[in-house]
């Protein structure tokens, strides 16, 4: 997917924690560093991003590594990912694939799409309508915009501390 008029290319600017809820947030920034898009994500997805951003190699393939490996074995490639929609405070994304010349768009959570994009070195796009809706949402939530604008990236040491404290039990699904 090449740059489109209806979207803006962005990159992961960093990961941080919501100061109130301690929920991880991925911050997407445009290439000119003028636009920020914070997306609240889960701890496992933040861990998946942090390990890739920090170049930490796991002993065995994690889920996003597995997906990357399967695509490669099938002769496929991730062309790009795009955050396409913001509906009822939930972001939606698509992963654009090319498999043997066939172009596909696969529905995804933004956190998974970003984690896959990081692993495959694929561009990340955000629809302009999402940026506009996000801006309106942030402005309508009193005090929220200021908090998001002032959050700083979590340091490498802090992520290392978070990851160090995690045990294999933290990665198990609880029913």
In a domain? residue 150: yes
Per mean pLDDT, which range of 28-32, 37-41, 147-151 is the poorest? 147-151
Beta-strand pair 76-87/124-127? parallel
- The Cα–Cα gap between 143 and 121 comes to 35
Question: Domain for residue 77, yes or no?
Answer: yes
Token pair recorded at residue 70:
């399967």
SS3 (DSSP) at 61:
coil
Residue with tokens 């997906």: 67
Which residue matches tokens 């561009």? Answer: 123
Backbone CA torsion sign across 103, 107, 110, 115: negative
> Is position 47 within any domain?
yes
Structural domain harbouring 70: 7-168
Element housing 43 (H / E): helix 43-53
Torsion on CA atoms 147, 139, 130, 25, rounded to nearest 10: 10
Please report whether residue 147 resides in a domain. yes
Q: Which two tokens stand for residue 30?
A: 């445009």
Q: Structurally, how many domains does the chain consist of?
A: 1
134 vs 46, which has greater pLDDT? 46
Q: What CATH number has the domain bearing residue 33?
A: 3.10.690.10
Comparing 146 with 27, the larger pLDDT belongs to 27
Residue 19: per-residue pLDDT = 87
pTM: 0.77
- The tens digit of pLDDT for each residue in 57-115 reads 888 989 999 999 999 999 999 999 999 999 998 999 999 999 989 999 999 999 999 99
The answer to whether position 83 is within a domain reads yes
Mean pLDDT, residues 34-46: 93
Q: Is residue 119 part of a domain?
A: yes
In angstroms, the CA 77 to CA 74 distance is: 9
Q: What is the pLDDT of residue 171?
A: 45
Residue 121, judged by CB atoms within 10 A of its CB (0-12, 13-18, 19+), counts as exposed
């Amino acid at each position: 997917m090449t740059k489109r008029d209806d979207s803006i290319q962005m990159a992961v600017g960093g990961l941080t924690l919501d100061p109130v809820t301690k929920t991880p947030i991925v911050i997407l920034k445009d290439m000119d560093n003028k636009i920020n898009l914070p997306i609240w994500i889960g701890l496992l997805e933040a861990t998946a991003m942090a390990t890739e951003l920090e170049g930490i190699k796991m002993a065995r393939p994690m889920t996003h590594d597995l997906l990357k490996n399967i695509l490669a074995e099938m002769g496929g490639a991730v062309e790009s990912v795009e955050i396409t929609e913001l509906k009822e405070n939930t972001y939606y994304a698509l992963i654009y694939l090319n498999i043997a010349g066939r172009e596909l768009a696969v529905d995804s959570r933004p956190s998974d799409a970003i984690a896959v994009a990081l692993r495959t070195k694929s561009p990340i796009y955000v629809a302009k309508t999402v940026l506009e809706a996000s801006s309106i949402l942030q402005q309508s939530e009193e005090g929220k915009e200021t908090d998001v604008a002032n959050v700083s990236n979590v340091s490498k040491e802090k992520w290392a501390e978070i990851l160090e404290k995690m045990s294999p039990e933290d990665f198990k699904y609880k029913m």
